[in-house]
């Protein structure tokens, strides 16, 4: 009697275990089926502008917070598929070698396959240029751009009513100083005297031995005899001498013009 009871108990336990296993398998299958039913798919074809399939393109599905949800690559026919996507709004990003990036917003629905046609644009030909500076390069000073004020003849006559130094009035970077009707000085970059070289027709008119400040030599140049006045500003003026730290003022005289068959000489004078 006891032996029959033990056998019956074992049978009941085995039956209970079997029932629990079957129930667990059924519940898992039901959960998986329900989960599959609550997801969607994104499928598409990647092509270029001419309609040729693009293989090996990287396809990413991004959430609204820019998190990557799923990734895949297009096959030999340019086809890609993203499975088990939770319904919602996403962004599809496609990157192909030699093409511009493709971005498009998609909406994924449950039990629905979202079809997407991707057309990639070919990248424009570009060239990367790296510019680096190196010390110790030797450059010809005459090939470097220099800041020069050019004062034409008309402005010379209008400005220089008393002394020729008045021609620099109203010029940027240049200042005029006058202490008397005949004493004047030209300041270039805040310097004057021996630090500003004065040339007349390319011949130096001043030397480094002269005193600083105003001088009388500007009164010896006749404004009406000038055609142009050039003022060189900047460090390039040092090529005219180690003492020329401010700039260079070059007075260019008129070239004489002679008449043709008639014995005439043309020019101007200041009376």
**pLDDT tens digit at each of 271 positions of the chain:** 444 444 445 544 555 445 555 545 444 544 444 445 588 889 999 998 888 888 888 999 888 777 888 889 999 888 999 888 888 888 898 988 888 888 888 888 888 888 888 888 887 766 677 887 666 666 665 666 677 888 888 888 888 877 788 788 778 878 777 777 777 778 787 777 777 888 888 888 777 666 666 666 777 788 888 888 888 887 667 677 777 777 888 888 887 666 556 666 656 655 5
CATH number for the domain running over 40-120:
2.60.40.10
Residue in this structure with the two tokens 């001088």, named with its chain if needed: 215
Question: In terms of CATH, what superfamily is 146-266?
Answer: TonB-dependent receptor, plug domain (2.170.130.10)
Give buried/exposed letters for 62-96 (b at 16+ CB in 10 A, else e): beeeeeebeeeebeeebebebeebeeeebebbbeb
Q: Where are the CATH 2.60.40.10 domain residues in the chain?
A: 40-120
CB 165 within 8 A of CB 185: yes
Which residue ranges does the chain devote to CATH 2.170.130.10?
146-266
């Amino acid at each position: 009697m006891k032996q029959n009871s033990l056998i019956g108990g074992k049978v009941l336990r085995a039956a209970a275990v079997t029932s629990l296993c079957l129930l667990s398998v059924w519940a898992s299958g039901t959960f998986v089926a329900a989960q599959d039913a609550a997801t969607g798919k994104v499928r598409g074809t990647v092509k270029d502008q001419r309609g040729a399939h693009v293989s090996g393109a990287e396809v990413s599905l991004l959430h609204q917070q820019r998190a990557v949800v799923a990734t895949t690559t297009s096959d030999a026919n340019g086809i890609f598929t993203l499975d088990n996507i939770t319904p919602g709004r996403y962004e599809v990003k496609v990157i192909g070698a030699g093409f511009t990036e493709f971005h498009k917003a998609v909406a994924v629905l449950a039990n629905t396959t979202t079809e997407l046609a991707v057309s990639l644009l070919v990248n424009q030909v570009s060239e990367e240029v790296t510019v680096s500076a190196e010390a110790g390069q030797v450059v010809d000073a005459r090939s470097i751009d220099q800041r020069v004020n050019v004062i034409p003849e008309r402005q010379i006559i209008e400005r220089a009513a008393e002394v020729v130094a008045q021609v620099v009035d109203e010029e940027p970077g240049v200042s005029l100083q006058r202490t008397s009707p005949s004493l004047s000085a030209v300041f270039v970059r805040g310097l004057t005297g021996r630090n500003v070289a004065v040339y007349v027709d390319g011949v130096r008119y001043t030397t480094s031995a002269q005193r600083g400040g105003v001088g009388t030599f500007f009164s010896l140049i006749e404004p009406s005899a000038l055609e142009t006045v050039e003022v060189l500003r900047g460090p390039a003026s040092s090529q005219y001498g180690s003492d020329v730290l401010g700039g260079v003022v070059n007075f260019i005289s008129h070239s004489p013009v002679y008449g043709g068959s008639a014995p005439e000489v043309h020019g101007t004078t200041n009376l």
